[in-house]
Structure 1
């Protein structure tokens, strides 16, 4: 599962501020707690804040951005580390999970392209968390499946862990 925090909603120019990912096994309902990815990125040339998103961040819990800024690193280094962490598997493609994939995957893919790093994820193997849960429920109009949130919302690592928890609980809840 992957989650990002950004400075805007357009992957063609807005920056990724934080990227977090956690490996999990849906069949076994296990999470790899020994190897979580959680890094923050400096804003590269050509990327810039959307003013509406900057205002939105100003309304959020201050400590979240206060945690991100001092941890910011060279974005190329972070993206290469993310690709290496994910790994490349021609035999068994990696599944990119997110909520929603249309947002997170687009940003991540654009950064891999910008820095000429091979993307370890293929769009054919991207799974949207909400679509998965709605499919399990057999109801495309189902609202977002809610669980008790632990940690700070809009901190990508907490969002990622909570999204995995929602997938596990929804899978159990809607099991046939």
Structure 2
């Protein structure tokens, strides 16, 4: 059975040195339509990141002010935040056994996580050849399978589930088989 992972970050900037608010991740098999599983949702300590020099951008804060209230309140809530050590330890463990790892675009989530791991002097828990980009695959479709009514856009875990299901649909559409 193929085990792929989908990761999504919600951040306070769009550069590789962005401060991370939340990380969502799910495992899934792109070759079938089974529900994504092994959910991971982590809220990261913001203060430690800003003390390390990670970036908070005013325009990103303003952008967050325009997002769904429940999603925004969850992303910014202080309760349940974990240390960067706990983040990396948990993500490293979660990545064990993955065949491929997906993100929405090659230069956002991966770049931010790679930058963070480098800043912490830790290796990332994936190999360069495991990286996949869902945006490219989904943009090849005649209809974007990510589009549709949603109230939970920019919740990192909800975005992962949605993107993983869209990749499953794209594999079926293109007839991709293992």
Give TM-score, length-normalised by structure 2: 0.81
* Residues 46-88 of structure 1: per-residue CA shift (max 9 Å, x gap): 113111101100111122232132232112211221111112x
Of 26, 31, 37, the match for 2:30? 26
Equivalent runs, 1:22-171 vs 2, <5 Å: 22-33=26-37, 35-43=38-46, 44=49, 45=51, 46-68=53-75, 69=77, 70-87=79-96, 94-134=99-139, 137=141, 144-150=144-150, 152-171=152-171
- Identify unmatched segments of 5+ residues in structure 2: 1-5
Alignment RMSD (CA, Å): 2.2
Q: Secondary structure at the match of 1:145?
A: coil
In structure 1, C-alpha distance between the alignment counterparts of 2:56 and 2:93, rounded to whole Å: 28
Structure 1 runs, 4 residues or longer, greater than 3 Å off? 142-151
1: distance between equivalents of 2:173 and 2:11?
32
* Rounded Cα–Cα distance in structure 1 between residues aligned with 2:158 and 2:173: 22
Pick 1 or 2: higher relative contact order, CA cutoff 8 A, min separation 6.
2
Structure 1, gaps ≥5 residues long: none
